[in-house]
Amino acid sequence: MFIGSYIVALALLWRLAIVGIPFVVLLVVPGYMYKRTLMRLARKIREEYNQAGTIAEQTISSIRTVYSFVGESKTIAAFSNALEGSVKLGLKQGLAKGLALGSNGVVYAMWSLICYYGSRMVMYHGAKGGNVFAVGALLALGGL
């Protein structure tokens, strides 16, 4: 979709597509960084949940022993400590998602430039408004 949308945009209005292509970097780089960060945080969260799951599994499998030695409070404390790391990582994950969503504001800047330059092309170079809109949509969707 990325390559195809830019090929079609270049075929429709190559001047307008050339103006919008520098925004590709501003659209692709935040998405790539968000993907890497999210994958790393998801892996760490899974490891934290595995630790908590191991504690719960061991407790349930030996519930009689835990109950006979009055180890409920110790087990609950260990389980809570295992989950605290995942809470901190979840907050980091939320921040990463917010930054990635906020970085998509570049799309609006790209649309404004394409609308401005496209209107100039319609007025002075005989371009059609539908082609201008199509090229803008292709550049935005291809970059995202």
pLDDT of residue 67: 65
pLDDT of residue 23: 83
Which parts of the chain fold into alpha helices (H)?
Answer: 2-12, 14-20, 23-61, 63-68, 72-103, 106-125, 129-143
Place of tokens 């908590």: 52
| 1-142 has CATH 1.20.1560.10 classification | yes
pLDDT of residue 85: 83
pLDDT of residue 66: 67
- pLDDT tens-digit readout, 113-135: 999 999 999 999 989 999 999 99
Are 140 and 110 in contact, with CB atoms under 8 Å apart? yes
CA–CA dist 96, 104 (Å, integer): 13
pLDDT of residue 142: 85
pLDDT of residue 2: 86
Place of tokens 């030996």: 62
Cα–Cα distances in angstroms (integers) from residue 132 to residues 11, 14, 62, 106, 136, in the given order: 12, 11, 69, 19, 6
**Residue 114, C-beta contacts closer than 8 angstroms, at least 6 positions apart:** 16, 19, 20, 132, 135, 136, 139
Mean pLDDT of the chain: 86
Place of tokens 């295992």: 82
